[in-house]
Amino acid sequence: MPKRLRYEVEPGGLSVQDRERIFELAERGWTAGRIGSTLRKHPSTVRWFMYRSGLATPNYGRLPSVRGTRIVKPFTPEEDAFISGLRTTGYAVRNIAWAATKKFGHPRSPHTVACRLVMIAALQEATAP
């Protein structure tokens, strides 16, 4: 069962003011959860914006989790390198998902792979000289 938030989320996406505030608070070291509660936005919405903007980087080391009846395994550095390499060579996202599922033994959907590629690109952009 999903964790309930301690506050009510305001509907709608992030406004320009919300985005500016996220940049400001992230630079102070605030987490997506803390920023979300301050802006009254869902922490996942804030985290995704932070990934896309290079304010947060994907992490490793989490344990597999259960969502409903599925076991969800986190990405590994090896899997990130594999999907990034295929994308660089021009593979379609659906083909990358299929190849990653086959190689690493756990299902990856095209949507999951597309999201992860955005996160990896944000990381690479943030760490570029």
Q: Could you tell me which residues come within 8 angstroms of residue 120 by beta carbon, excluding any fewer than 6 positions away?
A: 58, 80, 83, 84
Answer positive or negative: Cα dihedral of 56, 60, 66, 72: positive
CATH 3.40.720 corresponds to the domain 65-127? no
Comparing 28 with 121, the larger pLDDT belongs to: 28
pLDDT at 6: 85
CB hemisphere CA count around 94 (13 angstroms): 0
Assessment of whether the complete model's pTM goes beyond 0.75: yes
**Residue-wise pLDDT tens digits, 46-94:** 999 999 888 888 777 778 888 788 888 899 999 999 999 999 999 999 9
Could you tell me the residue ranges of all domains in the chain? 1-56, 65-127
> Per-residue pLDDT for 1 more than 70?
no
